[in-house]
Amino acid sequence: MLKIVPDPPHNHHSLEDTLIQATEYALCAQAVAHQAISIQQPKSPASILIMALMHEIEALRVLLESALIQVQMPEMERRAFH
């Protein structure tokens, strides 16, 4: 008998791998934003938005790195961390 609904795709990435990849994407986004700010006029509305974007990306990286540290901690230390 044929299945009407296919199986969901398998995610072979661990949470740690996913957090590392997300951190790398955030770093790349930050580099692009930094490059974009360098070609803008200093006080233009676009440069102000890009600076805000850089701030948000940095906050994202801090959160991702914190999550990665928690994932890499042994279980006993993780309980004490919360």
pLDDT digits (tens, 9 = 90+) for 58-77: 999 999 999 999 999 887 67
pTM to 2 decimals?
0.72
pLDDT at residue 1 above 90?
A: no
The pLDDT of residue 52: 96
Helix (H, G, I), strand (E, B) or coil at 4: coil
The pLDDT of residue 25: 97
pLDDT digits (tens, 9 = 90+) for 29-56: 999 999 999 998 888 999 999 999 999 9
Long-range contacts formed by 56-59: CB under 8 A, 24+ apart: 57/26, 57/29, 57/30, 57/33, 58/30
pLDDT digits (tens, 9 = 90+) for 8-28: 777 778 999 999 999 999 999
Residue-range domain boundaries for the chain: 15-71
